[in-house]
């Protein structure tokens, strides 16, 4: 049985960019993103925000990636990822590029 559109969870796609001296694999980035979100949100907040790292949308060259999240928790997601200071003991800066309700529009910024 399908849910009515009014009952579905609204989502946003947020594009992030990693600024660092070295390139990271999608698996390394995914592990760090999940660790930081679990630390920042906690178990209850993580289930409410329902973030999802889209590894098929990871751009290895530009080091950009997309995270899908509930529309009410976009600001918390941005705060959590900007607090991340390193990936695999390499200092990084993770910055938000664009937030969109459509994956196609967000993918244009990759």
Mean pLDDT of 9-18: 96
Would you state the pLDDT for residue 51?
95
* Ordered DSSP codes for the chain: -PPPTTTSPPEEEEEEEEE-SS---HHHHHHHHHHHHHHHHHHHHHHHH--EEEEEEEETTTTEEEEEEEGGGHHHHHHHHHT--EETTEE-EEEEEEEESSHHHHHTT-
- Check: CB of residue 50 under 8 Å from CB of residue 64: no
CATH C-level class of 11-105: alpha beta
Position 110 pLDDT exceeds 90: no
Which pLDDT belongs to residue 2?
87
Query: pTM of this prediction?
Result: 0.92
- At 79-95, the pLDDT tens digits run 999 999 999 999 999 99
Domain boundaries along the sequence of the chain: 11-105
């Amino acid at each position: 049985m399908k849910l009515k559109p009014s009952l579905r969870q609204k989502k946003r796609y947020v594009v992030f960019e990693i600024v660092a001296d070295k390139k990271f694999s999608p698996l390394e980035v995914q592990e760090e993103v999940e660790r930081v979100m679990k630390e920042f949100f906690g178990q209850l907040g993580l289930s409410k925000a329902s973030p999802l790292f889209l590894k098929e949308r990871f751009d290895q060259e530009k080091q950009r990636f997309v995270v899908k999240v509930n529309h009410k928790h976009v600001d918390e997601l941005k705060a959590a990822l900007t607090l991340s200071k390193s990936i695999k003991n390499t200092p990084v800066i993770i910055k938000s590029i664009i937030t969109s309700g459509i994956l196609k529009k967000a993918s244009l910024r990759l």
